[in-house]
Structure 1
Amino acid sequence: MYLRRLDLLGFKTFAVQTTFEFNSGITAIVGPNGSGKSNIADAVRWVTGEQSLRLLRAKRSEDLIFAGGASRASLGMAEVSLTFDNGQHFLPFPYSEITLTRRLYRSGESQYFLNRQRVRLRDVTDLLLKSGLGQNTYAVIGQGLVDSILSLKPEDRRAFFEEAADIKRHQIKLAEAQSKLAITEQNVIRANDVASEILPRLAHLEKQAKQARERDALSHELTESLRTMFTHRWRHAALECLAMRRQELRIGQTLAACEDEQTSVASCLTQLHAMQTQKTEAIAALRGQMDVLRARGEEVQRLIAVGQERVSSCRRQIDDLTQELAEMESGEASERAAQDAAEEQLELLAREVGDAASGCAAQVRELETVRARRREVGSRVECLETDSRRSGNDTNALRAELSRIADRRLLIQNEIAGRDPGTRQRDLQLAEIAHKIATVESEAARLDDSANELANELKNLDASLVSHQSAQRQMDENLAVLARQRQENATHLDLLRRWEQTHSGFYSGVKAVLEASQARSNRAPGLTGIVDIVGKLITAPSSLETAIEVALGSHIQDVVVDRWKDAEEAIAYLKRTSSGRATFLPLDTVKAQSVAAPASTGAGMIGLAARLVSYDPRFKTVVDYLLGRTLVVETLPVARQALKVLPSGWQIVTQAGEIVRSSGAVTGGSVGSGSRILGRERELRDLPAAIRQIESAIGVAEEELTGLKAEYRRLQSRRSQLQTSLAETRMQRHSKEHALGALRDEEKRLGQEAELYQSLRCQMEGELLTLDERERAIELELSRVVEESTASAALLVAEQHEVQALLEHEQHLAATLAELRTELAVVRQKKSNHEETLMRQRQSLERIDGQIAAKRTKLEELRSLATAHQRDLADSLNSIQEMSAELQSLDTAINSAQSDIERSEEERNRLLCDQNDVRARLQGLQFSHQKATFDAQRAEDEVGALRAQIANELGEDWAKRDALAPRRHGPTRTPVLRRGTEGHDGEGEEDLRDVPRGVQEPDLTELKRHIDQIREKLRVLQGVNPRAVEEYEEALARYDFLTSQARDLQQAANSLRQIILELRKTMKAKFEETFRSVANRFREYFVTLFGGGTARLVLTDPKDISQTGVEIVAQPPGKRMQSLAALSGGERALSAVALLFAILKVNPTPVCVLDEVDAALDESNVARFCEALKGLAERTQFIVITHNRGTMEIADGLYGISMTDSCTSRVLSLRLPPNGHRNVDELEPLQPITL
């Protein structure tokens, strides 16, 4: 198993989705300090379940989420995912790839996912413990771990070895077992305590249970005796009731026959009435269907016209596409011809390139031969020149040395002679520098004040800009709201106008009359004298619209006409066209009674409806007729009070729409959301003004927004100016600071020179003597060197002539080769140009082919669409014919239904006569039956009294049995005779089945005495607990259960103790084995990393393995054995690395992140560190965060991290060669990683 991929989003400085791809081996991550390298190690710690914010280098959980930068906003979430390759099923999951994800929100909520499935932290911990990547393992090793492994106490250092021994899982099991053992022991104690409390109560309950059983036996005996007595008493009472019931039965049968006859006649009348109603409703429904069919016919006619237009449009588009397709096919042929010619030219150029390349190769071979000869001769020349130069250099050096000695002698002499004038000059310079320092400091202070003023002004300006931005956003939102309101009102107004034009929501008759009236106004034949409907002629306040509409009811669509004659013409028109019905109010005939309105001074009274609406005075009679007897009140309770003084024929309506009539009837409920004519008319009046008001507000807001934007631009311009001025001021301040530092350095230098000159005088005088001796020795050496250089000069001249000849021949060959290469480049360029031309031609041809295919596809689609429109047109024509036939059929059905209604009226009159005869006979039979029922009821009451006594003694359940319980089939039916009332006239013989027969008569006196004795015994046992037996059995069962549970718990505790003992033995054995292995490996790695020396691990208390600490003893090469505190920083780091590598060798983790572990190592130690790391990489995948060049060179992959201006980490990737070339200085530049 190895880490395949690491994905980061919003974690610390990784603001965007960043993916790191890893392979097995070593991957290095490099970058400058502060670029975010260590955030990768923190991400690995965090996703594996780390909860310590200190280890994650954060104070709060929010610090782990990207906080934003100069040009990037903060994020609300951080997410890190680790993807492992589980192809060998190292982890017990049936997946070849496992992705572990942790997500954190700014609210503090943290989520874990495994292969994108939500899991718990415990699940993640268990999974990582199985893989060796737990929170406290060595998956992430930083500098802090390297330092702490040496600075910890021996007892604390033990934890590292426990992790290496993989004891964590056993420790978790041990803790769980100890916790379970403590709980089990508590449960054992609790079970024993409860059992000891129950034991004394068992004896008492056993005695009570015995008495309860005796009482139950006596109660059963009493019940049986009572049943015997009451059974025989019941038989005598039932036989007496039987005789009385027979008389009632005979009369009841005759009465039932007469009632059945009356019911039959009434049923026939009901059926006739239902049939008439059904026929009337059917006629109305058929007429409604005819209206619907006519409307559908108009719609189909419109669809036919639209379909014809669509067919014509498709045909025109088909013709245009056919012409375009022909033109494109012609262009395709010419393109193919040009492509063929270009391919032939390309083949010719390829042959020319081959010929030119062969010529160049021959010329190159000859040139290499000449160059080899020239280099051979040149090397000899170089040797001679080197000797000559060396002799010349020696000569020049000796002469220069003589010159320097003379100059130095003169300089020292001059220096000694001019020391005093130099001192005076330095004093003057020091005074001048002090004056300049004071001046520069004054200018720097002035620049600081100016920079502070500019910074404050810039801060105020930024606040103003923020305020203007907020105002602009608010104004934009207001404009959006106003625009939305304008659009909504305009849409609603358009809908209302369409409804107004089509008379939507009106009755069919009213709609037909209004349309006929409008047709006449458009200079077509139509109705005259039509004013309008009532709902359009009156206006009500918006708060009273519901009340007025409810008060008017269907009258709101009454049609107001000028004269009675106009109403007659309209009615005739409706009959002629079968357009429905309508109510007309002629102004010359409608009259309203003048009735005084009741007093309306009480609270909640609004007034007379006719006076609360507005209308034209000419319609006053109509309004008084419809609303002159209607009062409007606020609520229903107010209407209840007003009902007391309401005259007959008046009604009250509330604002919510309830109606109270003078008769006391009240109508109310929810008001439907259908067509509201008064509200519609009000909206038609109010909406245009509302739209104009909104448009005016939009204009004002747009002007304000324009002013805000102009002011914002001015402020931004001023801000840019201030930023420029502030930058210039700070630059000047920096320049002054730099100049001030230079002046102070110069002042310090001059002071030091003054101190030095005094001590140098003595040194210079001694130096003059030394120079004289050196001058004499150099003159002797110079004469020897001159003689040797003269001999080698002659040989050098001969060799130089040969080199010159070879050089001239080489230049001639090089010129020829350059000409050949030029010709080859020209031919290759021509070939490349032809290839590009051919490629463009091919792309053009492919584009043309694609366009032709698209045109052909569109042509086929248009043809299919035209065919579909043709079919729709044919279907519409067929629908017209079918609807005509259906209208004829409906008219025939209406005529047939009217004939059926006339025939049923004659049959109804005949049945009414038969009904009167049956009623007369029924009255006599009812009187006789009532008398017989009274007598039977008296006998049945006596039976009921006996039943009540039985229920009191034996209970309701026994009294309701079939032998005793009366089953009532009506107010006068006795239970004993229930079958006789439902069957034939059998004189009640079957009724005796419920009466016990063949039972020997008991001695009732002796039976009553025995019952009294039993009751006396029961009275003595009256105080016994009725639930004693149940409580005794429950307590005994609970006692047995608790003792059994205590035994089971004790066995479980013993098992847990054995498990704890075994776990401790296992942990001890694993610790000892791991310690020995780590100690051996530690010695090996110590010698390897130090190149010698010795080191060992020592247990502080070998007798107590469970608590012993671990001490480290080290002796680097060439040093004595000493404590870790006496080692240098590099030696301490190497010792810690040796121990960590030993642990990883003994217990390798699949993945290990090393965060700048090699930071304290020098170059030679890094080389040994890298060798050891390569050995461990065979079993562990390493991700190394480093600055060391040597560590980078052994890596198989390289990632570079840099910090951008927006405070986000930028990632670059580099895949290194597998072997061989690993010099970091000569590698290609890093390439940006794919995010």
Structure 2
Amino acid sequence: TVAAADAERSSTDELAAAAGAAHLGALTRKSSAEERLRAAIRSESGARERLSAAVNASGRLFALEEELERTQRARDDVAATLSVRDGELAEGEAAFRLADQARRDAEDERRLQREDSAARRAEHETLQRALAGHEEELERLRRARREVRAMIDEASARAHVLESQIERLDTEETPLAGEHADLEARRSTLAAGISDARVREQGLHARLDVLHARREELAESPAASFAKRRGNRPIGILADLVRCPAHLTAALRGALGPFADAVVYTNGSQAIADAQADGAHGVLLAIADEAPSPEPPTGGRSPGSRLLDALSPDPRVADLVASLLHETYLVRTLAEAAGLRGAHSSAQFVTPEGAVAGRAFVRAPAGPDRRLDDLARESGALEREVAATSRLIREAKHDLAEVEHRAEAARAALEETDRQITAAAEELARRRGEVASATREDQLLAEREEAARALAAALRASLSSAPGQPAEPSPLPAVAEPPVHLRVEVESLRREHARLAAGAERAARDIARLGEEDPILLREAVRVAEAERGEAEEVLHAAEAGLGGAAAEAATTTAAARAAQVRHAELHRAWREAALEVDGLREAHEDVDRARSDLERRIADAERVLIDAHGADPAEEVAALGTQDTVRELRQQADVVQRRLGLLGKVNLLATGELGSLQERHDFLVREMEDVKAARRDLLEVIREVDRRMAELFVTAFDDVDREFRALFALLFPGGEGRLELTDPSDPLGSGIEVEARPGRKRVKRLSLLSGGERSLAALAFLFAIFKARPSPFYLMDEVEAALDDVNLHRFLDVVREFTAASQILIVTHQKRTMEMADVLYGVSMGRDGASRVIAQRLVEVAAVASR
């Protein structure tokens, strides 16, 4: 069995593990014995080598002692010779140093003489080169000044030409600007007229839409409106479902009477349901299926042609029309009808105009609806007025296009003139800058020329006062020869003495080492090493024998364990196959159980449906099935029924409630929409009122600022003229502002053509005009007068002095004259600690102290 195989495998695995452990222990013991044997062999070999060396060294000891004695004697002889040669070398070195010092002193003196001579020559040559360079610089500066003067003359001439060109272009621009302003005014007028005409046209179209809606409302009867709201439930209007000749249309509607506008239904349930709906008040609902069959005409002569014979009703309402018109006859006049009515009391007669005469009644023909005629006449008048307004708009658009084209041409001409004036002004400014720069450059060149002339004169004076060439230096003494042969001999003796001393020391060390070795002790050490090697070999043989036994036992237990593993694997494979077969049988049994449960559930559901939904007995229904009612046939029938149910769609049982809630939501949204529209109209009216008020305030403020600007400009520019203009007077809130400034004795009006000071003064005039038009109790200005000259600064201070009467002014300035007119001065300084300090001083107090 599997359990026995598991027990057998566990037992064999334990035996194999024990045998493996024993085999591993035997291998470890063998390794230790081999290591001990190798150590014993190395110890024995070392002892034998030392013994052999000691036996051989006994003969070398006497030779080393003789060699040591010879080396010591040679060392003493070399030391004596070295002492004598050292004295001779010291005397030769002293004589060489004295001679060499004398030679170096003579060379230093000659070098100083050559350096002094070279310095004088270099100074002379430097002065000559500097003089030549300054003369070249003088010539270059003279050429540069001539070129600068020529450039100044050329730039000045070009500046005069540009000034004349600017004057000419400004003269040409004035009529163009006037023409452009006139065209812009006409364009604004035409645009305003077109806008008004469009507003009037939109109002006329709105009135037309209202009239058309009213006509449609009058033309459509209540019955037609009701039928349209009910969708596809009714068939239609009865008169519309009958075809007849055109000349009998009035006769048909008169004969049908109130049924002419009746809404026809196919069955009575729908008609009764819709009669209770909203909007059904006063509407006649006819039921086609419930119309009585017409009675056959009675015997006797017919009073005339029947109206029914001339009609072609829709098949769905044929019976209804026949029941209503089966005894209706056509006559030419009511007089003819009156003659026939007495003989045929059950018949009714109708004329082509729609007059009807019957038993106990006469109905006059329906006349035309005068309200529709009035609406038609009013619509025609409005359409003619719309056409006239459209024609007026087209003509105004044509005139506007022509005016815009001319204005565009004038604007292009103005822009071209402005471009030429701007280009000429920029070139003029550039030329003036070139003249100023060239003038400054000419001054700098003149200063540099004068400085170069003075330096050249100083260099000539230095060259004339320079000393002559020095005398030739004295000859040098002979070069001293060093005692080289003594140096070489002394160095050789020193090296020989050192070599002999080292040899004597080495021989003494060898003699001492050889005397330390004892042959008797070395032989004892060899004997001990041999005994230790023998013991190690015996231990190794015992370990090898134990290793063989352990290996054999391990192989036996390993084979038994492998056989047990094979048997265990076969048993497990058989067990797994049996388990898989059992699982398959269990799954098949579970599938059968699930299928049986599903069939039982479906049978129970079908029985419940038969009992609850159809009230039938399941046993009887099953017994009633025939041989042709197979499962396939029944499944096909069920599929067909299922598809039909799908086509019908889901039944919404809450539709009535949802309709009511949606209707309430619709009514709420309609009311909200009306509120939003009303709020939008109110907001648009508020916006128009705000825009109108803002435009009025802006125009008032603009006029005030323009008036003050004209006065201040005339004050700051005596003889000049300045004004403000709107670029689009028809739209003040969206318009830009143009500043025209013409200083005295100038014809230019654009700020870009003014100088920097003039532009600053014009900007100050505009700023002060705003201040005077809308005063403030406090003003702050930061170096606004920095670009003004003395004359314009005086005018600026006069204007500021006027403002000080009603306002407080704080000015940041570096101008002394501005400070002189102030009441209080504030100075800001920084100390050594980096902190700012403010110093204040009232000039009234200073004046009082000065007067005292």
TM-score (norm 1): 0.22
Higher relative CO (CA 8 A, sep ≥ 6), structure 1 or 2?
1
Q: Larger Cα Rg: Structure 1 or Structure 2?
A: 2
Q: Which protein has the bigger helix share?
A: 2
